[in-house]
């Protein structure tokens, strides 16, 4: 689904003050890698119905297994691993034995401490991600999810990684073992490890989406296949409001325009933004804040809500409003399905000129 930066801002998907954004509200990732992948998912709402329904299935499955998610992988775990892979260490023996391990520990005590500390974190990570792989190995899930499960299990078959992944949580390694794993991780399995971290980031993002759906009791929308754009909502509300008012909305080819009138602070803008946020989340494959939500696949989402002036370019508020409307008209004339949300059209000028522009 096509969506631009202005629309992201208008419906509060992303905000300069992040704590007031939908992204922040729904972010339950445990790592920075997961957060970046979640942001990527938010920036790329789907245009393919099969992909949307597949994501729904992933989220539904993960939401049933949240309590089985490994607790031994944190953002700190990944930070230690990253630091170790790039840390300046004195050369380790490639084939450690009792003698050269003893001397390395004695003569390079600071480096050895770093190795010992880091190997423990690598073991935690490999054990945790292996747990995820086994958890979903035989579960019927979309191919674009299973490919990462299959890949991580394949990577963990490498001898050193498999040994670390199979260690019991409280196992204490000897100096020789620490140096063996320390050497292998830096010199032979760095690329494999970075790929596994990236895969975990994707899984962490999907975990966050499932966690959000369960925490906020979001409802999965129903998509109908039709050439005519349709949106029907019952009990629709805005996810950012602590005590929201629910709305019912029905838009179809017979009534594809909805004009809102009412007193100031009556909730008109909130309804507009609630509709935009729900349609956006639906195209991510997420649940939406509504009792029921039915829609067709949309080709794009455009808004004209918080247009700003640009002093540096000498562009007035009214000028940018007109430009935004022009851009919108050019977009929607392609005959595709667009949801267009406008709040107080041409409010940047006087009443007479606004009426003529409209």
272 has a pLDDT exceeding 80: yes
- Percent above pLDDT 70 for the chain: 87
Q: Where are the domains of the chain?
A: 2-20+219-357, 63-215
pLDDT at 309: 47
For the segment 18-34, what is each residue's pLDDT rounded down to a tens digit?
A: 788 999 999 999 999 99
- What pLDDT, on the 0 to 100 scale, is given for residue 267? 73
Mean pLDDT of the chain: 89
φ, ψ of residue 338 in degrees (nearest 5): -125, 140
DSSP string, 273-307: HHHHHHHHHHHHT--BSSSEEEEPPPSEEEEESS-
Q: What is the pLDDT of residue 318?
A: 61
- Long-range interactions of 201-204: CB distance < 8 A, separation 24+: 201/31, 201/33, 201/34, 201/36, 201/37, 202/37, 202/148, 203/34, 203/132, 203/148, 204/29, 204/30, 204/31, 204/33, 204/34, 204/37, 204/38
Which pLDDT does position 294 carry in this prediction?
97
- Looking at residue 314, its pLDDT comes to 47
pLDDT at 312: 44
Task: List strand residue ranges (DSSP E) for the chain, in order.
Answer: 2-3, 222-223, 231-236, 247-251, 292-295, 300-304, 338-342
Take residue 276 and report the two structure tokens written for it: 């935009």
Non-local (6+) Cβ contacts of 108 within 8 A are 89, 90
How far is Cα 105 from Cα 75, in angstroms, rounded to an integer?
Answer: 28
Task: Give pLDDT, residue 15.
Answer: 85
What would the two tokens of residue 260 be? 């809102």
Q: How far is residue 11's CA from residue 239's CA, in Å, rounded to a whole number?
A: 11
Pairing relationship of beta strands 292-295 and 222-223 according to DSSP bridges: parallel
The string of pLDDT tens digits covering residues 278-317 is: 999 999 999 999 999 999 999 999 888 875 545 444 445 5
109-136 and 75-86 are packed helices; what angle lies between their axes, rounded to 10 degrees? 130
What are the tens digits of pLDDT across the range 134-182? 999 999 999 999 999 999 999 999 999 999 999 988 899 999 999 999 9
Backbone angles phi, psi at 223, to 5 degrees: -95, 135
Q: What angle do CA 30, 35, 40 make, to 5 degrees?
A: 150
Q: Class assignment of domain 2-20+219-357? A: alpha beta
The mean per-residue pLDDT over the stretch 232-242 comes to: 95
Across 77-98, average pLDDT? 95
Q: Give 108's pLDDT tier (boundaries 50, 70, 90).
A: very high
| Beta carbons within 8 Å of 353's beta carbon, 6+ residues apart | 346
pLDDT of residue 264: 65
For the segment 325-340, the average pLDDT, to the nearest whole number, is 77
pLDDT, average across residues 70-90: 95
- pLDDT-derived band at 61 (thresholds 50, 70, 90) equals very high
Residue 351 has pLDDT above 50, yes or no: no
């Amino acid at each position: 689904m096509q969506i631009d930066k202005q629309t992201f801002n208008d419906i509060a998907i992303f905000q300069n003050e992040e704590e007031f954004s939908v992204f922040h509200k729904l972010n339950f990732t445990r790592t920075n890698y997961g957060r970046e992948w979640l942001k990527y998912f938010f920036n790329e709402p789907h245009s393919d119905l099969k992909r949307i329904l597949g994501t729904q299935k992933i989220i539904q499955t993960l939401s049933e297994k949240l309590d089985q998610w490994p607790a031994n992988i944190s953002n700190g775990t990944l930070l230690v691993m990253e630091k170790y892979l790039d840390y300046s260490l004195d050369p380790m023996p490639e084939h450690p034995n009792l003698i050269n391990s003893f001397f390395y520990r004695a003569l390079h005590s600071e480096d050895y401490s770093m190795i010992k500390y880091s190997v423990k974190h690598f073991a935690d990570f490999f054990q945790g991600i292996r747990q995820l792989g086994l958890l979903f190995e035989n579960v019927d899930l979309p191919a674009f999810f299973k490919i990462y499960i299959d890949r991580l299990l394949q990577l963990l078959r490498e001898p050193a990684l498999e040994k670390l992944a199979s260690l019991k949580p409280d196992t204490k390694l000897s100096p020789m073992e620490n140096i063996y794993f320390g050497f292998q991780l830096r010199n032979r399995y760095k690329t494999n490890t970075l790929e596994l971290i990236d895969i975990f980031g994707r899984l962490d993002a999907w975990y966050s989406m499932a966690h959000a759906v369960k925490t906020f009791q979001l409802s999965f929308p129903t998509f109908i296949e039709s050439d005519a754009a349709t949106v029907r909502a019952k009990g629709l509300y805005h996810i950012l409001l602590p005590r929201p008012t629910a709305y019912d909305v029905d838009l179809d080819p017979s009534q594809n325009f909805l004009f809102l009138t009412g007193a100031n602070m009556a909730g008109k803008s909130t309804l507009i933004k609630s509709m935009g946020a729900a349609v956006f989340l639906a195209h991510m494959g997420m649940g939406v804040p509504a009792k029921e939500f039915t829609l067709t696949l949309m080709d794009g989402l455009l808004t004209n809500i918080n247009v700003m002036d640009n002093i540096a370019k000498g562009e007035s508020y009214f000028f940018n409003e007109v430009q935004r409307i022009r851009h919108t008209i050019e977009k929607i004339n392609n005959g595709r399905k667009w949801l267009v949300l406008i709040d107080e059209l041409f409010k940047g000028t006087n009443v007479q000129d606004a009426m003529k522009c409209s």
